[in-house]
A and B are shown apart, each in its own frame.
Chain A
């Protein structure tokens, strides 16, 4: 059974601090995604990681992928209040099929306080 596990599930941090969210998954995949969801809103794509060792950065967020360890990280640098949201990682199971089957983790609710 596929599991996509994120930790922590809840994170409260101060502005200006650094922190990392972890995403472990239990089966082989060639695509990993990070999404952001603001309260009452839909999901917005942040990063798509397509290969082992992939690293992508956008502003204060950086995502990386280690397919051998089945681990992705989302690193937050010098957090600001605007980054408060729920962050989801998601894994695409469709290695060899023609259709995507993207499974989500439980999400990490991030709260950044002044």
Chain B
């Protein structure tokens, strides 16, 4: 248990659906991240939030919409996705300026887009 909880663990959705991924961290960290892990590419950084403010949007299509209401919660809202968006979506958190700033990852949401 890393202290970062993601739900759901698995999600199957159609291209016209709207769904949301949820991440919660219990570590008191001040930064949260979304990464995408697909079979054919390295882990891709999608979004970074620092003290609830988005500091990085790594050219992610607008069909992915992040939300960070507070430093413990992070959402990824999904709409009109494409089959190539099927992947494992990993949430992570870290403590900035507090030491080594290593990432603590959740277990991920395995997303399948039909």
Please give the residue numbers on chain A whose beta carbons come within 8 Å of chain B beta carbons, in ascending order: 4, 31, 33, 35, 41-45, 48, 50, 88, 90, 92, 97-107
CA distance A102 to B34 in the complex (A): 11
Give chain B residues whose Cβ lies under 8 Å from the Cβ of A105.
42
Give chain B residues whose Cβ lies under 8 Å from the Cβ of A48.
100-102
Q: A101-B56, A103-B45 are in contact. List 6 more A-B contacts (CB 8 A).
A: A42-B106, A44-B2, A99-B56, A102-B33, A102-B45, A107-B42
Give chain B residues whose Cβ lies under 8 Å from the Cβ of A88.
42-43
Number of A-B contacts defined by CB within 8 Å: 63
Instruction: Tell me the chain B residues, 26-63 only, with Cβ under 8 Å from chain A.
Output: 31, 33, 35, 42-43, 45, 48, 50, 55-56
**Which of B2, B55, B92 is the one whose CB lies under 8 Å from A98?**
B55
Give chain B residues whose Cβ lies under 8 Å from the Cβ of A42.
2, 90, 105-108
> What is the number of residues of chain B that contact chain A, defined by CB distance less than 8 Å?
25
* A87 to B: closest C-beta gap in Å: 13
- The listed residue with most B CB atoms (<10 A of its CB), out of A43, A98, A106, is A43
Is there contact, CB below 8 Å, between A100 and B96? yes
Is there contact, CB below 8 Å, between A45 and B45? no
* A13 to B: closest C-beta gap in Å: 22
* A26 to B: closest C-beta gap in Å: 14
